[in-house]
Amino acid sequence: MHWADVIALNLSRRGTKHIVSTGITPSGEFHIGHLREILTGEMISRAAKDAGLEVDFIFIVDDADPLRRVYPFLDEEYSKYIGHQIGNIPAPNAEGKPDYERFNENGWNYADHFLNPFLDALKTIGVRPRIVKNLESYSSGMFSECSKIACDNADKIREIIERVSGRELSDSWFPWSPLDSSGSLEGVTVTGYDFPLVHFIDSKGNKGSSDITKGEGKLPWRIDWPAKWAWIGVTCEAFGKDHGASGGSYDTGKEICQLFGYDAPQPLVYEWISLKGKGAMSSSSGNTIGPMEALELVPPEILRFLIAESKPSKAIEFDAGMSLVNLADEYERSCARDLTLELSDESLSRRRKVQLEDLMGAVRLSSIERNSKSDSSNVSFRHLALLAQTKSNDQLVWDSLGLNSSNPPSSILIDRLEKMRTWIESPHFPEEMRIKIIKQAPVEMLQNFSDDEKLVLANLTEMLENCSWDLDTIASCIVDSAKSIEKSPRLAYGVSYICLMGAKKGPRLAPILVELNQQEIVNQFRLCLENVN
């Protein structure tokens, strides 16, 4: 059974109504690592719906979190906002400076600045969660009840965190972080509690009080999280392995949640996505691929497939080079198979059955719209990469695929071709996929030619020189150059590939040659002929 279906099955044992939650702090540019958080949750939701459950899928935006430091993409001016809640400070402009104008005019804040493009990207991959903003939730009193319980039971919470995480909390620790008069959560020391007020002294020695029912501060993360579960009614949440480690925030949250009179949600821990050969994704080192950038290259259903086919516990190494080709082709191959039919075979081993079920689940969860047929283009990535490189315009590609006005290309295929062209232009496109005629064939390969191959090369050179330069003629020249000495055309193709591309195999030749200059090609063959002996 697919991993998402396994979770759905567990959920069905707990009840029929569920709230599946995900959450991210928009403290900087999103990257595809964040996509795993959202997609994992979305796939669980979809699987749960498929299992007949009623599901609400939400995305909690942690815009109540403070700005931790001045990130490399920010101007030094942001240092004054350290400790301030990211939903309450201006967004950076192109130079990384705070954009006061937009902030004052229409409230364009730091969190939204990073969040909104991500939400757009989510739309294109078929993810439309209900958005819950933390800052709003605090100020509208959604956290009030849990905040009161937390403050009333500060000792119990302290005990749980110290025992479960094994770390010691300072004497001044309190389960509420008040905002000081300047709007900062940092350097504030709690001095007393008298519901609904938490009294404090800030870093400059100013005293003040924070009303916990009005969002004049927030719960620290380890309490904030279980409080969300409780007030929202979260029954399932997928989270990164950092939270999932034993003694981590899920473990403490699970117990703290009980104080709120709520059972912790069904957990699912997922691994990180890293960039192949470059280690973990990190915005500061520039070692990152944003969801938007990824979606320019990768068709959305294939990005989904990447997440769907990997078990959450497996680390994913993302790579926009050859791995992408293989991934996309595997998706196409899988779509083309009739997995239901294959599964109906009684003689299948249990193992084989499980494999087919998982694959079927992955394909099902990869389609952009739930319950739609798989978003297959029926053309392999490899094939499309060739067409995009050898055909100068889209119409020629459709012609080659046998598509015309009565049998037009699908919107998926049109989208694929557009992305393919972007990809080919990008530095991510793998060299081994790039079609290019080399200037000089490797002499070593030429000198290993058999007598037959030499003969074919001589034939071919002469035939190409004298033929008319069109598709059919070129093709028959190649075939005939071998047939004339009663050899398989394969031999002639092999010879041609070595001379033109330095490899034993290659893409179908005639359509490529016809785009090139006849005399240059002939000259190249002639040059090879001189080198064979």
Partner RNA sequence: GGGCCUGUAGCUUAGUCAGGUAGAGCGACGGACUCUUAAUCCGUCGGUCGCGGGUUCGAACCCCGUCAGGCCCGCCA
Question: In whole angstroms, what separates CA 35 from the centre of its chain?
Answer: 5
If we measure between CA atoms, which residue out of 266, 247, 231, 221 comes closest to residue 160?
247
Binding mask 348-367 toward RNA (x if CB under 7 A, else -) reads -x-xx-xx--x---------
Q: How many CA atoms lie less than 13 Å away from 376 in the CB half-sphere?
A: 16
Taken in order 215, 221, 226, 229, the sign of the CA dihedral is positive
| Residue among 17 and 333 whose Cβ is closer to RNA | 333
If we measure between CA atoms, which residue out of 11, 504, 22, 14 comes closest to residue 307?
22
Please choose, out of 150-158, 200-208, 291-299, 475-483, the segment that lies near RNA by the rule CB under 7 A: 475-483
Please, what is the minimum distance in Å from the beta carbon of residue 499 to RNA?
Answer: 14
Among 128, 163, 314, 373, binds RNA (CB under 7 A): 314
Is 272 a binding residue for RNA by CB under 7 A? The answer is yes
Among 14, 102, 148, 241, binds RNA (CB under 7 A): 241
| Structural contact between residues 103 and 109, judged by C-beta atoms closer than 8 angstroms | yes
Is 271 a binding residue for RNA by CB under 7 A? The answer is yes
| Residue among 204 and 350 whose Cβ is closer to RNA | 350
Among 115, 316, 477, 532, binds RNA (CB under 7 A): 316
Please choose, out of 138-146, 164-172, 259-267, 459-467, the segment that lies near RNA by the rule CB under 7 A: 164-172
Report H helices in 391-450: 394-400, 411-425, 443-447
Q: Which residues pair with 192 in a beta bridge?
A: 199
For the segment 125-154, give every residue that binds RNA (CB under 7 A): none
Is 173 a binding residue for RNA by CB under 7 A? The answer is yes
| Residue among 18 and 34 whose Cβ is closer to RNA | 34
Q: Which amino acid, one-letter code, is at 87?
A: G
Dig out the tokens for 83 from the structure.
Answer: 């400790």
Is 207 a binding residue for RNA by CB under 7 A? The answer is no
Residues in the interface with RNA (CB under 7 A) total 72
Among 5, 20, 25, 528, binds RNA (CB under 7 A): 25
Angle at 220 between CA 215 and CA 223, to 5 degrees: 100
Among 433, 477, 495, 499, binds RNA (CB under 7 A): 433
Among 89, 273, 386, 412, binds RNA (CB under 7 A): 386
Helix (H, G, I), strand (E, B) or coil at 205: coil
Helix (H, G, I), strand (E, B) or coil at 498: helix
Give the Cα separation of 259 and 150 in Å (integer).
8
Please, what is the minimum distance in Å from the beta carbon of residue 488 to RNA?
Answer: 5
Binding mask 396-415 toward RNA (x if CB under 7 A, else -) reads ----xxx-------------
Among 94, 95, 105, 167, binds RNA (CB under 7 A): 167
Among 203, 372, 411, 488, binds RNA (CB under 7 A): 488
Question: In whole angstroms, what separates CA 198 from the centre of its chain?
Answer: 42
Is 442 a binding residue for RNA by CB under 7 A? The answer is no
Give the Cα separation of 341 and 353 in Å (integer).
12
Please, what is the minimum distance in Å from the beta carbon of residue 86 to RNA?
Answer: 10
Dig out the tokens for 206 from the structure.
Answer: 């100013």
Give the Cα separation of 366 and 375 in Å (integer).
8
Helix (H, G, I), strand (E, B) or coil at 345: coil
For the segment 494-533, give every residue that binds RNA (CB under 7 A): 501, 503, 505-508, 511
Binding mask 60-99 toward RNA (x if CB under 7 A, else -) reads --x--xx-x-------------------------------
Is 277 a binding residue for RNA by CB under 7 A? The answer is no
Among 333, 440, 443, 520, binds RNA (CB under 7 A): 333
| Structural contact between residues 459 and 484, judged by C-beta atoms closer than 8 angstroms | yes
If we measure between CA atoms, which residue out of 227, 131, 224 comes closest to residue 185?
224
Is 242 a binding residue for RNA by CB under 7 A? The answer is yes
Give the Cα separation of 476 and 489 in Å (integer).
10
